[in-house]
Amino acid sequence: MKLAQLLTSCLSFLSTSSAADFVIEKEFQAVTCGSSVKLAHSASGVRLHSHQITYGSGSGQQSVTGFNSGDDSNSLFLVDSAFGADPCVRGTPFACDSLVRLKHLNTNKYLHSHNHVSPLSSQQEVSAYEFTNSEDDWKLICIDKKDKVWKRESKVRLQHVATSKYLSSNAKHQFRNPIPGQLEICAVKAAGNNELWQVQEGIFFAQLED
């Protein structure tokens, strides 16, 4: 990549304003390898979030929650290729139905799920795990059938490959101390409105030219 391209390939954080307030340039419309993104839960608006607080039950691993601010750096996840796959090339868009991993930027732990029970809803626990394995893989399901690649602002579902359950949140399930108001993130069997997510804020690398 030429220096001029490299200097323009990374966008700073977008504000939390609606999509109508800005125009996404063509080369930045796709979610690409190496980008760090914030996933907004379509139904509630919370961002997928993690922090150095462990679950008091279940696996005892680092907790993953829904946080109601778009400005917190603990909601940034780097988008990477699946476990055991060849490393993706920075700037390559992720095709719909491909497998991805999401690496929490501040703690270097991967979005993970497994057969433990979530603390509030008794669904499948979702955590952040430092030792990557196939339980970090998520299938990217695009809702708009016209989409060929993962696009910013477009609704998607993330299906956990190992258990076939969907990344989910529900405004009914809020934590109290020490993380009051944050929502539980879990994985569920059925796919509905609570399993829809959109990439909004983030740091984005431009899509490579064909």
Kindly state the tokens that stand for 61.
């691993």
Domain 31-199 falls under CATH 3.40.50.620? no
Give me the residues of the chain with pLDDT under 50, please.
1-20
pLDDT in tens, 10-43: 443 444 444 445 688 999 999 999 999 999 999 9
Task: Quickly count: other Cβ atoms within 10 Å of residue 6's Cβ.
Answer: 12
Compute the mean pLDDT over every residue in the chain, rounded to the nearest whole number: 90
pLDDT in tens, 79-94: 999 999 999 999 999 9
The CA distance from 75 to 202, in Å, is: 9
The three-state (H, E, C) secondary structure of 9-58, written as one string: CECCCCCCCCHHHCCCCHHHCECECCCEEEEEECCCCCEEEEEEEECCCC
What is the pLDDT, as a whole number, of residue 15? 40
Going from N- to C-terminal start, the domains of the chain cover 31-199
